[in-house]
Amino acid sequence: MVTSNTSSAPTRTFPPSIPLNPDFPRLYVRFKVPTANPRGKGTPNAPRSPLDLYTPRLTQGSGRGKVGLCPLCPRSPRTWFSMKFSAFKYYHMQYFHGISPAAALPFSPPTAFRTVPRPHATKLERNTMREGKCHRCGKWTPVEGVKNMETKVPELYWWKHAAACHGTSHIPGERDVFIEDAAYVRALEETKPDDQTESEED
């Protein structure tokens, strides 16, 4: 089973008005830049840029049997997902890691939270519902399920809204997406325009 430890993960930087809700830690984490040339069996698959968090760097197979290696999960055990039946795109990259396929970056979190009553809830349903406010559409959307039970990935409900609404939009002032290690520095060098690199060498 794929796991993700966010208990000690560093968080991105947001404007002071954005609440960091401890019940939804994956909404705020920073990410390591994916390995440019991961070792293992498979066909190299070029990302849109070295800072692309979405595109698999290795694929296997073709057509209905094509799978992609998650660029964010730990190398062991390796996690391959079908690219034909949306397992990679929807059920893993968007709804487990919260990565936008349009922006190849994490979805923005809610700009605010509130709790509203559910007066007609049944015995197994929540009496109240937490909602998050979207920076793009301004609407309040549920951030938990109707059934009164724990979810393996609590952020799932917000990411479903974000996938349908955000596109490439992010909260103004949101930054520090990446953990600034050696891989990040190398990726920045690779993304510099050629003329900028040449001017720095002159």
pLDDT tens digits along 78-111:
788 888 777 777 689 999 999 999 999 999 999 9
Q: Which of 193, 154, 201, 2 shows the shortest CA–CA distance to 88?
A: 2
Which position has the higher pLDDT, 119 or 78?
A: 119
Whole-number pLDDT of residue 178? 97
Cβ neighbours of residue 157 closer than 8 Å, sequence gap 6 or more? 141, 142, 143, 144, 145, 151
Whole-number pLDDT of residue 37? 76
Find the mean pLDDT for residues 141-161.
95
55: Cα within 13 Å, side-chain hemisphere:
15
What does pTM read for this prediction?
0.86
